[in-house]
Amino acid sequence: MAQRTFSIIKPDAMRKNHAGAILAEIERAGFRIVAIKKLFISKAQAEGFYYVHRERPFFASLTQFMSSGPIIAMVLEKDNAITDLRKLMGATNPANADEGTIRKKFAASIEENAIHGSDAEDTAQFEIGYFFAGYELL
Ligand code: GDP
């Protein structure tokens, strides 16, 4: 059954003009773009988004990075969207990412790693609702 997930093209990929190439990979992999917008989030908004990581040593750096420039937030749909997007993204650290994955192609470091994708049903629901209103999800 079609499933929805949430994704962000992160500020590093935006700065390097990789947004179009990443979107092409996502569409080629069979995802439907349900909703999409470019926006600039504050550090406080990044902290709310990454609340689950608040105790991690990289929390301050990560939220600084995520508010350092524009991002593209999107909702994607396909069968097994959550797992399939995580596969397409590759490992968090691009040094460990498989050939052909988005992070292998476009990420520079474990933090500046080009793309976010929800890791489970409950986080996908939270993340979609954090950035999009119901009427935008058509
Ligand atoms: P993801 O699900 O693959 O995005 O990884 P996580 O949920 O574990 O971490 C969220 C984000 O925090 C990652 O995508 C990275 O941008 C960043 N991050 C994760 N681990 C580290 C780390 O060890 N150091 C730093 N600086 N950033 C990290």
pLDDT at 14: 98
116 is catalytic: yes
Q: What is the mean pLDDT of residues 43-70?
A: 98
Q: Which residues contact 40 (CB under 8 A, 6 or more apart)?
A: 67, 69, 70, 71
Backbone CA torsion sign across 6, 8, 9, 14: positive
Q: How many CB atoms lie within 10 A of CB 118?
A: 23
Tell me what percent of the residues of the chain surpass a pLDDT of 90: 99
Q: How close is the Cα of 93 to the center of ligand 1, in Å?
A: 8
User: Which one is catalytic: 116, 124, 128, 131?
Assistant: 116
pLDDT at 88: 98
pTM: 0.98
Give which of 39, 6, 2, 32 is closest to 125, Cα–Cα.
Answer: 6
pLDDT at 1: 74
pLDDT in tens, 78-137: 999 999 999 999 999 999 999 999 999 999 999 999 999 999 999 999 999 999 999 999
